[in-house]
Amino acid sequence: MRVFVTGATGFIGSAIVQELLRTGHQVVGLARSEASAKSLTEAGAEVLLGNLEDLDSLKKGATEADGVIHTAFIHDFANYLAAAETDKRAIETLGSALAGSTRPLVVTGGILGLRNDGVPATEDDPAPGFPRASEATAMSLAEAGVHASVIRLPPSVHDIGDYGFVPYIINTARQKGVSAYAGDGSNRWPAVHRLDAAHLFRLVLEKGTAGSRYNSIGDEGIPVREIAELIGRHLNLPVVSISPEEAVSHFDWMSRFIQFDSPASSEKTREQLGWQPTHPGLIDDLNLGHYFKH
Query: Could you read off the pLDDT tens digit of each residue along the chain, which spans 294 residues?
Result: 999 999 999 999 999 999 999 999 999 999 999 999 999 999 999 999 999 999 999 999 999 999 999 999 988 777 889 999 999 999 999 999 999 999 999 999 999 888 889 999 999 999 887 788 999 999 999 999 999 999 999 999 999 999 999 999 999 999 999 999 999 999 999 999 999 999 999 999 999 999 999 999 999 999 999 999 999 999 999 999 999 999 999 999 999 999 999 999 999 999 999 999 999 999 999 999 999 986
* Structural domains in the chain, sorted by start: 2-158+192-220+263-279 (3.40.50.720)
In this prediction, residue 102 carries a pLDDT of 97
| The amino acid at 212 | S
DSSP secondary structure code for residue 219 in this structure:
E
In this prediction, residue 131 carries a pLDDT of 81
Find all residues with CB under 8 Å of 60, minimum gap 6, and list them.
48, 50
- The CA-CA-CA angle for residues 61, 142, 74, to 5°, reads 50
The whole-angstrom distance between residue 45's C-alpha and the CA centroid of its chain comes to 21
Q: Measure the CA–CA gap between 138 and 148, rounded to whole angstroms.
A: 6
In this prediction, residue 76 carries a pLDDT of 79
Q: What is the pLDDT of residues 160-206, one digit of tens each?
A: 999 999 999 999 999 999 999 999 999 999 999 999 999 999 999 99
Find all residues with CB under 8 Å of 73, minimum gap 6, and list them.
7, 52, 83, 87, 108, 134
Helices (H), the chain: 11-22, 34-43, 55-63, 80-98, 134-143, 165-176, 194-207, 224-235, 244-251, 267-273, 282-287
Q: Give CA separation, 45 vs 14, 19, 30, 72, in Å.
A: 10, 12, 10, 17
- Torsion, Cα of 167, 80, 212, 67 (10° steps): -90
In this prediction, residue 269 carries a pLDDT of 98
In this prediction, residue 210 carries a pLDDT of 97
Q: What is the pLDDT of residues 194-203, one digit of tens each?
A: 999 999 999 9
